[in-house]
Structure 1
Amino acid sequence: MPAPRPTRFFLIRHAIVEPSARTVMYGDMDVAICALALVQDASAYQWLAARLPPGARWFTTPLSRTQATAAAIFAAGYPAAALEIEPRMVEQHLGEWQGITHEAFTARLTTPAHPFWPHGAEEKPPGGESLADVIGRVGPALDGMAADMPGQDVVIIAHGGSIRAAVAHALRLDAHQAFQLSVKNLSLTRLERVGGDWRVVSVNEEPPLTPA
């Protein structure tokens, strides 16, 4: 018997946000993507439009930056598809610390910062989430989507935190290890669900560099 076709997930981190938002820890605040970068990153959108499989189901989070990124990929050549909302793929919620400056955020930390992130993997802001909490909601979301869409192609425009959480779930990494994953804006991460198991195809794929 031939092996069943895997459910293939194509996870894209949204475009870079506007400069004013980058001065604070915005977490899951609804901030806009940078209008200038939308023009400068035209080749990245074209690369994604050509790289993604036709006929996929498309999901975004409730935040406008993911939906604007999807619209830019459609404008770059991917046939427009209906967008479905998956709130469990949203970015880490920073609770009472959300919206404060990076300096103020650092002053409130209760554990040492991660070498590659402003806070530690187990840091849980008051009223917010730790990265372990994000892994705990993203993992079941992916399992459920794979069960509901067996053998299909699924594109998810999401966030750095939720994509790290997705890879951590697939590889059974802890939160500290998840923060060691680089997930850049407009990068592509590919996961597959084969039967009851997860396979990581790639992490943080970026478009080829344009010659100077």
Structure 2
Amino acid sequence: MSNEAAPFVAQHAVPTGVVATRWWWVRHAPVREDGGCIYGQTDIGCDTSDRIIFEAVGKILPRGAVWYASNLKRTHQTADAIWSAGFPKPPSLQQEAALAEQHLGEWQGLNRAAFFASRPAAVGSYWFAPIDDPAPGGESFLDLYNRVRGAIERINTEHAGKDVIAVAHGGTIKAAIGLALGNQPEKGLAFTIDNCSVTRLDHLASADHSGWRVPMVNQQPWIAGASPNAMHQPAGPEIATASKLA
């Protein structure tokens, strides 16, 4: 008999007659090669060198799930790191461009600190701009929200009753939270989504009703298993400042 502990999967009761589609959102690993600049949909890589983080993430993800990632390589690299750390590799990873980060247009490539210093304080925005203010040549957060909502609704129909693991981006996950909170995109912006964190959102549907349940947001499973003197976190500039949002 194997001594390996069974993977932990949070369980929540589902009423009779209700179909639960469980979303497990994973934000990509930290980006180190941005040079302090806004990257948005720029297709740059991420740092997947800390195996302990990906082992911990894999322990709380369900087996047998449908896997999605955006079309940006940092999400694919993060998925590969989870599998390389011991999680059974799924038959396929479906790329979904609608789950990509917000396209920040002409802001991409600008120095992040200088950009925020030049912007008026927008209490209640918690993002690059108010939700309906698009970047020049790019998208607003509301644009991002609408495309993410469309993808979620389609996937809920295609994979009703299944576990869906989606490796995505901070803005994407904030949009998904806004949807779960009653189609209020501005509410999603109030949440912090750290690199490699796991957010669980359950879509519940019956014959005459549908809605969402939020079991956990920004869960960082590597912290729970670390000793006080050895906290394995995706340290570095990606989470060192609140301004690094994309």
* TM-score between the two structures when normalised by the length of structure 2: 0.77
- Note the alpha carbon deviations across 1:17-56, whole angstroms, 9 max, x for none: 12x315111001101112xxx22x3222011111111111
Pick from 39, 56, 63 the counterpart of residue 54 of structure 1. Answer: 63
1:193 aligns with 2:203: yes
Match in the other structure for 2:74: 65
Give the drift of 1:160.
Answer: 0.1
Q: Secondary structure at the match of 1:6?
A: strand
Please list, as runs of the form range in 1=range in 2, the aligned pairs for 1:91-102 lying within 5 A after superposition. 91-102=101-112
Query: Cα deviation per residue 1:168-199 (whole Å; 9 max; x = unaligned)?
Result: 01113544432210100000001111112222
For 2:190 and 2:17, the matched residues in 1 are separated by 33
Which residues of 2 match residues 76-91 of structure 1 at below 5 A?
76-81=85-90, 82-91=92-101
Alignment length, in residue pairs?
Answer: 206
User: Offset at 1:114?
Assistant: 4.5
Counterpart of 1:200, as a letter, is V
**Pairwise CA RMSD:** 2.0
Give 2:239's aligned residue.
none
Letter in 2 for 1:28: Q
- State the partner residue of 2:178: 168
Per mean C-alpha deviation after superposition, the further-off stretch among 60-69 and 122-131 is 122-131
- Residue identity matched to 2:161: G
One-letter amino acid of the counterpart of residue 78, structure 2: T
Mean Cα deviation higher: 92-101 or 60-69: 92-101
In 1, Cα distance between equivalents of 2:16 and 2:183: 31
Residue 13 of structure 1 corresponds to which residue in structure 2? 27
* Equivalent in the alignment of 2:236: none
Match of 1:148 among 158, 168, 175: 158
Gap runs ≥5 in structure 2: 1-14, 230-246
SS of residue matched to 2:30: coil
Distance in 2 of aligned mates of 1:140 and 1:173: 12
Aligned to 1:4: 18
Structure-2 change in CA distance of 1:50 and 1:103 (3 Å) = closer
Identity %: 35
CA contact (8 A) 2:102 2:144 kept: yes
TM-score (norm 1): 0.89
The answer for unaligned runs of 5 or more in structure 1 is: none
**Matching residue within 118, 140, 144 for 1:130:** 140
Relative to structure 1, the CA distance from residue 199 to residue 66 in structure 2 (aligned partners, 3 Å threshold; closer, same or farther) is same
